[in-house]
Amino acid sequence: MLFNSSIFAVFIALLLPLYAILPASRPRKLLLLVASYLFYANWDWRYLSLLLISTAIDYHAGKRLARTDRLGARRGWLFASLFTNLGFLGVFKYGNFFIELAEPIWSSLGIVPIRFPGNIPVGISFYTFQTMSYTIDIYRKKTSPCGCLLDFALYVSFFAQLVAGPIVRSTQFLPQIVSMKQLRMGNVSSGTHRFLLGLFKKVAIADNVGLFVDTIFQAPGGYGAITLWGGAFAFVLQVYCDFSAYSDMAVGIGRAFGIKLPENFKNPYLARSITEFWQRWHISLSTWLRDYLFIPLGGSRKGLSRTYANLFITMFLGGLWHGAALTYVVWGGLHGLILMLERILGIGTSVRDENRGGFFGVVRGIITVSIHAVGLVIFRSADLPTAWQYITRMVTAWESLGGEQMALGWTGALILLCTGQYFIERHGIDRPLWIEMPAAVQGAALAMLLYLTAWFQADKVAFIYFQF
């Protein structure tokens, strides 16, 4: 069920008034849970069982972890949680990938391996990470187990962010739903604005840019360097407007029900280094990898060599998290190498760095976006040979082969996006100020967003991160 579909419009139009008329907190939570399961089952009802199994095991493991101090028992329950969640990921997301990698072995032995049928369960990478963080935090004694199965099940399956994040920690979500309050018109208004902003970014920008991107990436050998750079920058624009749009829509839906979901992006194209980029991009994943992978590996506490190795391993596995393909693995490894190099050279700028302006700051920003664009060429390409051809021609094919005008147009749109992010951050524009505006202004702005969304709408396209 896509957020940008008519069936979702009917779904949310029925859910909001039903929620509003329920008299107490528990029925409201039960309604949201049932709605979330229906939302997920709409993709493929068979995979709903994985979500239910993960919920049951992690809820039970959390309660048992809190009841014992015996190290062996605690490790056993933590292992049960990790084995279940990582096992689901390994089988349903990576099973065929590892079978294909071992193809020479099967051939030499005369074995025809069995492949897993069907598509990857939507959202499996997100909700498994979410539930694992819960049991790990209890194991570390950083939080207490949830005492209500209904609350925990809603935490795992809340439809707003179930299939593409943001990845929510239990300490962020569970305290908010202890008592689910009635709808407030201010929350509904603010949430609707945020949802429509995301809908506009997805339908009017990302999907239309995607038409150009698909054309370029299907046959990069037929285009010159200018067009290929334009295609890479267009994908930078597309993937941001697509993924941040989903996060905007998720945050807006949560806000309408009085639930605050974490922000997943913080003007990432203002970054002055790849280190800073990961402090601004897909924040819920980057902080998850930091807290549950990089730091447990030793972080930066065990010497420089170990720090560099930990950075590379974290980003390598972060690339593998995105999917079972060598392109994602190489993309993650490339980011790991760049983070290592920036740490060595001491150029990893913090988001809080005040010395961001000036000529050199702008140059660093352009270099960062360009490195990100080249990495996304690997990320977006069908395979590594295609990615290599694309990148090679970006450097060598300066003959004119057509497509330059469209490429320059989308590059200009990316520049406008970066400029807009600059003014948002520079002047501290706060989106919740929306609810303080006069009703007439809110109505006019919402109507304009709807009109522009309908005007620019391309064919309905699934969000890019649904495949992960």
Which are the catalytic amino acids?
Answer: 322
Rounded to the nearest 10°, the torsion over CA 74, 78, 79, 84 is 150
Structure tokens at 131: 């539930």
Name 255's Cβ contacts closer than 8 Å, sequence gap at least 6: 187, 190, 191, 194, 261
Instruction: Supply 58's token pair.
Output: 């992690």
How far apart are alpha carbons 226 and 409 in whole angstroms?
Answer: 12
Task: Give Cα separations from 398 to 223, 225, 229, 370 (angstroms).
Answer: 9, 5, 11, 17
Question: Pick from 105, 104, 91, 100: which is nearest to 54 by CA?
Answer: 91
Residue 197, amino acid: L
Place of tokens 């949560």: 254
Q: Are 106 and 113 in contact (CB under 8 A)?
A: yes
Lookup: tokens for 397: 């094919």
Whole-number Å distance between alpha carbons of 133 and 130? 5
DSSP label of 97? H
The alpha carbon dihedral of 11, 12, 17, 18 has a sign of: positive
Alpha carbons within 13 A on the beta-carbon side of 428: 0
- Coil, strand, or helix at residue 159? coil
